[in-house]
Amino acid sequence: MDALVRRLYPLCRSITGDGVRQTLAVIDDLIPLTVHEVPTGTQVLDWTVPKEWNIRDAYVADATGRRVIDFRESNLHVVGYSVPVRTTMPLAELREHLHTLPDQPDLVPYRTSYYQPTWGFCLAQNVLDALPDGDYEVVVDSTLADGSLTYGEHVVRGQVDQEVIVSCHVCHPSLANDNLAGVAVAVQLARSLVNPYYTYRFIFAPGTIGAITWLARNAAVVEQVRHGLVLACAGDPGPLTYKRSRRGDAEIDRVLAHVLRDRPHEMRDFSPYGYDERQYCSPGYNLGVGSLTRTPYAGYPEYHTSGDNPDFVSPEAMVDTLAVCREAFAVLDRNRTFVNLSPYGEPQLGRRGLYDSLGGRSDAKDAQLAMLWVLNLSDGWHSLLDIAERAGLPFTAVVAAADALRAADLLKEA
């Protein structure tokens, strides 16, 4: 995952353009993608696919020709979607197009202007303070023309057609935690799925307009979506944060609460601000899609700055995020509702060898309790997750109990 973050980091991504295509091509080396191109001007819900933006070079040079701001050093130096410029102007005029972070004078900010034609440069405040008055050559060698919006999908077919979606935005340039760590975790998660119960669809799309485009083009798929997770900010050193779906009590919300209960974490209620969960949870769709991050949106000083580089991302943090995702999906895949086939009184477990099978196990007491709880609450209404929550037992213990009871013909699936 760390190697993938570092490989993707130099690419200049935006909501459209070759940087997105190059990013998807790298991902396709690891998991096969179906890549979609949606032409400029296409109506997608209340939006229209914009013109495609590509950039070859950009710089500000002083009177000696020295580049004092250079796109080749970092793609953050250019405001995303800057229109072409080739001119000379005094510093006083140029300042109107320069963006800095006075409170973080060593860092370069990330800025965009997708839907307002303009141009600009980003630089460290310390660099700006050192620029002498005089004329500067300003060049933005970019194109803004009819083209397309690009997104990719990877589907892991399950035993049923009902789907779990995992969504990552691929529109940010050199920002390692937001968004590349989420991409890296999603790729590794996709590679780890073997014969899942649900079908898992991984969506790699530009933020906002990409998710809206996917929703507009996939009405039939949306009908099959049962659960979903938006992954972002997956590699910073902070504890995990889960933001509930708009429903607040969707199964994915309960699963993440269960999986995270013994880890340092924060649970947040839904708000229509943040990442693409706000598109999947818009009232017309109201899908059971939550958001998993470590430190949330705009919650760390390096957010949307040059400080969000590969060294800021921790491989250990990405491994931890991945582990939670895998555990959560394991719960989703195994969460079923059963009916007790011997509901009048407690069935005799000893003569079926169920107590004997627990002998010598360090978790024998939990396993025995799990059997009793599963038998008592398997009434066709309570799922295994319901039982685990009510009993205060690990989901894995409840699943193991259900498997044993089913093998002994004491349970059937509702």
pLDDT tens digits, residue range 32-80? 999 999 999 999 999 999 999 999 999 999 999 999 999 999 999 999 9
Average pLDDT, the chain: 96
Burial state string for 207-222 with b = 16 or more CB within 10 A and e = fewer than 16: bbbbbbbbbbbbeebb
Q: How far apart are the first and last CA of the chain?
A: 40
378-400 average pLDDT score: 96
Residue 39's beta-bridge partner residues? 148
pLDDT for position 367: 87
Burial state string for 95-131 with b = 16 or more CB within 10 A and e = fewer than 16: eebbbbbeebeebbbbbbebeeeebbbbbbbeebeeb
Instruction: With beta carbons less than 8 A apart as the criterion, state whether 68 and 127 touch.
Output: yes
316-339 average pLDDT score: 98
Same domain as 326, residue 343: no
Annotated binding site for Zn(2+): 172, 178, 304
The string of DSSP letters for 159-179 reads SSS-EEEEEEE---SS-IIII
- pLDDT band per the 50, 70, 90 thresholds, residue 361: low
CATH of the domain at 131: 3.50.30.90
Same domain as 316, residue 168: yes
Same domain as 117, residue 66: yes
Using the 3D structure, point to which of 333, 357, 377 is the last residue of a domain: 333
Tokens of 307: 């400080």
Same domain as 225, residue 213: yes
pLDDT for position 243: 98
Closest by CA to 188, choosing from 3, 13, 313, is 3
CA 404 from chain center: how many Å?
36
Reduce the DSSP state of residue 102 to 3 states and report it: coil
Same domain as 277, residue 187: yes
Q: Work out how many domains the chain is built from and give that number.
A: 3
* Cα–Cα distance, 340 to 396 (Å, whole number): 19
Same domain as 315, residue 210: yes
Same domain as 312, residue 220: yes
pLDDT for position 127: 98
Please give the residue range of the domain that contains residue 403: 337-413
Same domain as 44, residue 62: no
Instruction: With beta carbons less than 8 A apart as the criterion, state whether 221 and 201 touch.
Output: yes
Same domain as 191, residue 324: yes
For residue 359, pLDDT over 70 is answered with no
For residue 204, pLDDT over 80 is answered with yes
Same domain as 260, residue 163: yes
Same domain as 234, residue 179: yes
Supply the pTM of this predicted model.
Answer: 0.96
pLDDT for position 168: 98
CATH of the domain at 389: 1.10.10.10
Annotated binding site: 172, 178, 304
Look at 363 and 337; give whichever has higher pLDDT: 337
pLDDT for position 357: 59
Q: Write out pLDDT tens, residues 133-150.
A: 999 999 999 999 999 999
* Cα–Cα distance, 309 to 181 (Å, whole number): 11
pLDDT for position 356: 62
For residue 353, pLDDT over 90 is answered with no
Instruction: With beta carbons less than 8 A apart as the criterion, state whether 304 and 178 touch.
Output: yes
Using the 3D structure, point to which of 292, 317, 333 is the last residue of a domain: 333
pLDDT for position 286: 98
Same domain as 255, residue 174: yes
* Cα–Cα distance, 360 to 383 (Å, whole number): 29
Q: Locate tokens 């020709």: which residue?
A: 65
Closest by CA to 113, choosing from 210, 40, 15, 36, is 15
- pLDDT band per the 50, 70, 90 thresholds, residue 363: low
CATH of the domain at 180: 3.40.630.10
* Cα–Cα distance, 152 to 149 (Å, whole number): 10
Q: Write out pLDDT tens, residues 265-316.
A: 999 999 999 999 999 999 999 999 999 999 999 999 999 999 999 999 999 9
* Cα–Cα distance, 177 to 301 (Å, whole number): 12
- pLDDT band per the 50, 70, 90 thresholds, residue 364: confident
Identity of residue 210: G
Using the 3D structure, point to which of 112, 145, 178 is the last residue of a domain: 145
Which three-class secondary structure string do you get for 259-313?
HHCCCCEEEECCCCCCCCHHHHCCCCCCCCEEEEECCCCCCCCCCCECCCCCCCC
pLDDT for position 395: 96
For residue 362, pLDDT over 80 is answered with no
Instruction: With beta carbons less than 8 A apart as the criterion, state whether 94 and 63 touch.
Output: no
